[in-house]
Structure 1
Amino acid sequence: MKIVLASNNRGKLAELRAMLAPLGFELITQGELGIPEAPEPYHTFVENALAKARHASAHSGLPALADDAGLCVDAFGGLPGVQTAFYATRFGYEKGDDNNVRALLEQMRDVDNRRAALVSTLVAVRSEQDPEPLIAVGRVVGEIARAPVGSHGFGFDPVMLIPEFGQTFAQLPVEVKNANSHRGRAARAMLALMRERWL
């Protein structure tokens, strides 16, 4: 079965393709089908993911899977949250992973409470009007490192220190990261939901 990923993020695509492979789903990006990105006007991950999934399904006529994910920093009241991808732009930098990390470290320079969570919310719909979307949430709590470490992953992986490993996500081998990441946890929950309700 073909499923449209309501994202053009190559990192997300690679992670989710690997995680959904056991079900035999062919995951294609909305960009491959010429589908524009959906607006994300909401303040919660689940609302934005649902809007993106419905948008991709409406434009493709196929089932769709959307992810809205972000970093929630305790010292910032849970922000940047749904604005994670644009975090750097609030501080005069261009949008991008490296700039997001730079801006975060600058803002946290004198902050002692470094606790943060990476959150991924996956939503899958069979059609634009699906009355029963599948919703799976994955959450990983860690601490923001004082400097980027590691070369794997993307986003905030180089500064997300995971206490049980004593390393950042960017230091972990890909298979270990995928098994323990917020997206990995959400994807496993989504796999179970898809097996139960779609197959």
Structure 2
Amino acid sequence: MNQYKPSLHPTAPAWRYAAPARLLHWLLALLIVVLIGVGWYMMEIEDDPGSAVYFMLHKSFGLVLAALVAARLLWRFGHRPASLPGNVTPWQVRLSGLTHGLLYLCMVLMPLTGIVGAALSKRGLVFFGLTLPRWFVPDHDLAEQYFDAHGVIAWVLVALIVLHVVAALKHLLVDKDGVFQRMG
């Protein structure tokens, strides 16, 4: 049984992630889950009347997500989190680092491929009803390639999120080592 006692110093900066990192983590988590769900739904109703509003909302919140990911990366580069407790096994530390690195990569590539795909599409990039200036001449085939990549990244991101959540729950419910509380 683990003897790590996070409650001894629950507010110590070295123990928990800073408030901006925690806020960005949970905002991004919520937004990513909603955007993936809306993205899959809108693809099912793509040709139905009224589906355009889902595409507009997906694009708009995708741009918000891109801005939040940029903020998260800027924060992360300047504020390195504390190391995991010493009782976390080396393979778990390596897997955590790899998973987090892949999550960040997907969080960058996901909005990037969506933005470029939308910019190449006939409708263009829209932000809450406002059509943004075109960067590219519409190219349906190239847009579809970006959207295909966007879809693949969505599945990779879902798999990484499941792994991340399972690991977090393991630390909370099985290991009880305070790792989960660092982001709480």
TM-score by length of 2: 0.24
Q: TM-score, normalised by structure 1?
A: 0.23
Question: Greater relative contact order: 1 or 2 (C-alpha under 8 angstroms, separation 6 or more)?
Answer: 2
Is the strand fraction higher in 1 or 2? 1
Question: Which structure carries more helix by proportion?
Answer: 2
